[in-house]
Structure 1
Amino acid sequence: MYLWLIVFLLAFSSKGSTAVNQHPLPTVFESVSDDWDLNKPFTANTTVNFVFATASSLLQAAPNLRYRNGHTIVPGIVRPGTLLYHGREDSIIPTTEWVAFDPEISYGLCRVFGSLEGSCWHLTFAAARPLRVLYFDGASVTQLGGGEMDSQDIITWGEIRPDLVIEEGLRIQKLCEWGKPLGLDGFVRMGTISEMMLCNFSSVNLVSSQHLKSAPSKIFQSSPPPPTAPIKPEPINSESFILLRALDRFSQYPGVMHVQLDLSHLVSFYDEKLAPSLVAVRSDKPRLEHCLLGITEEDLMRVRKYLEEQVLETPWPSLESGGNHLDWPTHLHSIVELYGETLEDIWNLVNSTASLAARPATQRVKDVFQLVESLVQRFVLYNVSPPSGFDKNETDVTWASSIFRECTVSHYLVISTLSLTTSEQLLRDAVEGTTREICRVLTKMWAYGVHDGLSEIFHDRVAEHPHEDLKKADALLYTWKVELGNLMKWLDWGVWLRCRPACKEQEQCYIPAWPFAVGNVSGMVWREDNPQPRCLKKLEPFTYADDEQ
């Protein structure tokens, strides 16, 4: 009896196993082997890295000050109850005006443009309902005419108009007129400061109206000159330093949290299907020189139509009704968080000019490999191994292509199960393309280390004394440096924008940007061709932290 039961169960189990083997689960990627060639980087003209970098940096000050010519427009929501601030010379509630997300900004501007008698009315409002807004990335508040307001110009004037950069009153009027029939309540812009153009104050409730005493502000010594005039403003002062320190909390992720963006309706001028004419405009130019000036009228009209019909006239389910859309900001940031810090640590080790380079090359090789393997090892399938009889000096890394694939797929799995909007398909391609290149480079670096016997995963191949030869260690470090340097330059993530070395006490890390001038006394500038973070001292007149060195 029991023997019969055991035979029955074994037979049933065998049939079940056979059935499972006959119906394997579908895979996400069905690619030929050439698609996972570790020696094939992305083409030079791809935009997936730009889409990823901009989308993962939205509402964060540092990367948007660095790349001030914005290429992204995103709808969003300001939640009910969100406090908004407005400073002025009287207590009148305006119809259409600018509001700030922080009282430091509104109070500072109140002192700049308020009464000369030291009178400042500071008004606090709360959103009475969800406010539908449109966000322009880059330093979109900047009035210099160098491309920072291009995406706004397309809506405001119907063309790129650098000559109208200071026509802010007319700008907000026209933007609000365009947005009213589309249900927009305002427009969010960033730069050194963040603000919202509020189209109708009936959408907010007055919380308080304070008549404050204030001294005239020293933040601006004079009005900004026309874009074509020589620019030599006064040095930045301690008051500006204090304001910049307050604003620094928006420098990196999550940035300005008062606005929730709906990336499922994102519009990017790096979308080659939406604005193909810009491919030639930015060809062979560094990202700092990318702008929208030169877009054809056909592409311009396509963008406007897409905004009006596909974005603003449809519901935003990911924000208004929950929906089943992916939390794109979190997903993008999780990738940056996974790789950003470790890639930087590896770079400090392989870069011969970095502070950590004082360590012997033989030790740095081991340290670098340990970091690389920490990112790769969970994708090494059990049956993966260099071929038998493999020469440790061999440069063929074909055997590791499955690791490259597994790594890339891991970032794509969650997206493949969702129904995607057109904007999300663009983001999906950006995620796949960006992580694909990260995984390719890391797998290749790791495979070179395996060849040299550095990995304990392959116990039979671990070298007894790997890289005790200084010349060989230097050669491998150089190979890694080239591979990683190209990758990090291609990624160009905002998370790496910070002062090095870190600023000291009573210093502030800052990226030169309008309207705060920085520099030495003899050479003040409002704008730099290649703005880099640097430390500013709290001194009068203001100087760079390294001026005395």
Structure 2
Amino acid sequence: MIFSSCLAVAALALWKTASGSLVSNNVTLINEHYANHIFNAIHSSMRQWGSSWNHNGMSFFLATVPKDTLLYHGSHDPGPVTGINWLAFEPEHGLFFASPWFDKRRKDGAQQTAQIPLYGDTDSNPLQPGWLHTYAAAEDLRLLYIDGLSAAKTGMGTLDTQDRILFNDSITQPHQDLERAELACKLFRDDWDNRIDGIIRMESGFEIILCDFARNLRTVRVTRASPYDARDGPLLPGGTRNDLFRLYKVIASRFDGIGGGRVRLNYDHFVTAYNYDVDLFLDGGKLPRLAHLPAEALEPMKQDLRNLVMTHDPFEKSVDWQAIADMIVERYARDLKYFVSGKLSSTRELHFEIERVLRPFINFDARDSIREIERCATQFLPDSLPYDTVAAGAVTAVSSTICTVLVRSLQEDDYETIITSLERLIDYLSWTVWKDCPEKCDWNEVCFIPIWPAGTVEDHEHPHCKDKPSSGGKSYWDRPPGRPESQDDMLLYRYDEL
């Protein structure tokens, strides 16, 4: 990681020198050692797959949900919803909260969670289904997107950016989501001049915390959810085990993006903790954290976030840097893995395949490695783009690093040295497309990975296709003190705050 990070800095400096006026020397990429993480944040934004793997999000983006976009809210009250509340992008996610399980909680009181029976109901206290409210955005919604699994109530770092930067350490427990919603909307109203309508976060599906339902939505319909049938098995939060797996399949359909143009992000102007001179990976940890940083180290991020909101509008047009990142990943992901697969057993074979990748960027009448790197690194960058942004700096640093390693590999004669360099590059890039299930899933299966609160350590270490939910196994997610470790038990505590 250190080798490749240093190489990224050197590659970007070399590339700027070679490019002359093509790229501004005022690229606002402060911490070039984290360029790969910024690139991956852009690539994974509003995508369930990458955001689940990189679940400790470190970035804030301005977001827009277009007028007339359909959104969903599950409730045990068919009446109009006003004020602050939650919305889902998928109807199945909304139906989760219309489950009879939540009716039982409403009757018995939220503090009786552990005593809720898992099977059936009784004649004296039947479990009733709720209603699915379907809304349409009454206007373009101005939102703040917090990346990663930012709605996952864990102590693993999924809430760091919210609790430390947005809420100034005033939230102390993972399950204080009602307090988060109220504090966010108070901040937007009192300090940010109502320039933001709510927050987009992700858990088992994307959600919106909207500050004013009455102002921002119009009702399309309200429909009754299906009743619970004890023959379908245990009643869990959100329905039966089969209901929950159906929700997971819906979530999996958004692995590669929310779809339909339902969310637009501003990639030219965003705030990411990766772009500050702080150590996010304490003691070489695998997951980025803010928890160990003193409050004063976070002040620049807080100020920059406020400046982002006050000086830029979510409706602004921006370069789609995610689309550019996609082209880079799609271009090199398979080739890089092929190079280190062992199927190329000699330097000659490696050189032949690498040169085929680089051939469009080589002038065979006048070989020049610096120019070859430049041509390779800029192949997906249209002319006249604003290159003085964080996104531009991160994308050019990553593309330059890839091309530098490939060009240098052609100049290296030792097979093991080439392979080691390529393996370090792959480790540095850490693209989530390489974490896919090893087998192709059948039509009724999904590639199952941990998405809070579901998933086991085994699912994280060895993702596989599944046609039914996991049962048992140690949960991947941390557990509140005194609570069991199995993922089945984690499901019962998913929504303690509601």
Letter in 2 for 1:404: I
Deviates more, 1:371-380 or 1:172-181: 371-380
Q: 1:372 to 1:237 in 2, by over 3 A?
A: farther
Please tell me the residue identity of whatever aligns with 1:166.
Answer: H
1:128 equivalent among 138, 141, 148: 138
The farther-off stretch of 114-123 and 53-62 is 114-123
Q: 2:227 & 2:341 partners in 1: Cα distance?
A: 51
1:12-64, Cα deviation, whole Å (9 max, x unpaired): xxxxxxxxxxxxxxxx944599xxxxxxxxxx981111111111110111221
2:465 corresponding residue in structure 1: 535
- Between the aligned partners of 1:133 and 1:405, the Cα distance in structure 2 is 37
In the other structure, the counterpart of 2:354 is 372
* Residue identity opposite 2:67 in structure 1: P
Does residue 209 of structure 2 align to residue 197 of structure 1?
yes
Q: Deviations over 1:352-406 (max 9, x none)?
A: 4xxxx4xx846x964x545423321111114335xxxxxxxxxxxxx63432233
Aligned partners of 1:127 and 1:204 also within 8 Å: yes
Could you say which residue in structure 1 is the equivalent of 2:288? 290
Q: In the alignment, is the contact (CA less than 8 A) between 1:60 and 1:256 conserved in 2? A: no
Q: Distance in 2 between matches of 1:245 and 1:70?
A: 23
User: Is residue 537–residue 543 contact of structure 1 (8 Å, CA) maintained in 2?
Assistant: no
Report how far residue 253 of structure 1 moved.
4.5
Q: Which has the higher contact order (CA 8 A, sep 6+)?
A: 2
Residue number in structure 1 paired with 2:341? 351
Residues 1:437 and 2:401 aligned together? yes
Q: Displacement of 1:220 after TM fit?
A: 7.3
CA distance in 2, matches of 1:321, 1:158: 28
RMSD: 3.3
Identity of matched residues, % = 23
The aligned residue for residue 139 of structure 1 is 149
What SS is found at the alignment partner of 1:146?
A: coil
**1:267-293 deviations in Å (ceiling 9; x for gaps):** 100012xxx3x32x525524x321111
Return the match for 1:102 from 90, 108, 112.
Answer: 90
Q: In terms of mean alpha carbon deviation, does 299-308 or 400-409 score higher?
A: 400-409
Is the Cα contact below 8 Å between 1:142 and 1:514 reproduced in 2?
yes
- Which is greater in Rg? 1
1:195 counterpart SS class? strand
Contact 1:372 1:442 in 2 (8 A): yes
| 1:259/1:157 CA distance change after superposition, 3 Å | same
- 1:485 is matched with which residue: 402, 405, 423? 423
2:238 pairs with 1:240: no
* Matching of residues 41-52 of structure 1 within 5 Å: 46-52=33-39
CA distance in 1, matches of 2:17, 2:470: 64
- Could you say which residue in structure 1 is the equivalent of 2:227? 214
TM-score by length of 1: 0.69
Q: Could you tell me how far 1:194 is from its partner in structure 2?
A: 1.2
| Equivalences for residues 300-319 of structure 1 within 5 A | 300-308=298-306, 310-316=307-313
1:62 matched to 2:49? The reply is: yes
Code of the aligned partner of 1:179: F
Deviations 1:91-145 (A, max 9, x none): 1222211000010111123214246533221100000111000011111111112
Q: Which of residues 333, 345, 369 is equivalent to 1:340?
A: 333
Tell me, which stretches of 5 or more residues in structure 1 are unaligned? 1-27, 34-43, 224-235, 386-398, 452-474, 521-527, 545-549
- Return the alpha-carbon distance in structure 1 between the equivalents of residues 151 and 71 of structure 2: 17
CA offsets, 1:508-532, max 9 Å, x none?
2121232124478xxxxxxx8x655
53, 69, 72: which is aligned to 1:85? 72
CA contact (8 A) 1:87 1:120 kept: yes
Q: Aligned pairs, how many? A: 421
| C-alpha deviation, 1:445, in angstroms | 2.5
Shift of 1:182: 3.8
CA contact (8 A) 1:80 1:129 kept: yes
Using the alignment, how far apart are the partners of 1:296 and 1:541 within structure 2? 41
Please name the residue that 2:12 is paired with. none
Q: Give how far 1:256 is off.
A: 8.0
Q: Tell me the distance in 2 between the aligned counterparts of 1:439 and 1:294.
A: 35
Distance in 1 between residues matched to 2:451 and 2:44, nearest whole Å: 17
Alpha-carbon spacing, 1:265–1:504, altered in 2? closer, same or farther (3 Å): same
Q: Is 2:175 the partner of 1:166?
A: yes
Tell whether the 8 Å contact from 1:536 to 1:543 is kept in structure 2 after alignment.
no
Runs of 5+ unmatched residues, structure 2: 1-14, 21-30, 105-125, 475-498
Indicate which of 416, 438, 441 corresponds to 1:503: 441
Amino acid at match of 1:92: G
Q: Is it true that 1:74 corresponds to 2:61 in the alignment?
A: yes
Identify if the C-alpha distance between structure 1 residues 259 and 177 changes in structure 2 by more than 3 Å, giving closer, same or farther.
Answer: same
* 1:482 CA displacement: 1.4
2:184 aligned partner: 175
> C-alpha distance in 2, partners of 1:371/1:542?
45
TM-score after normalising by structure 2: 0.76
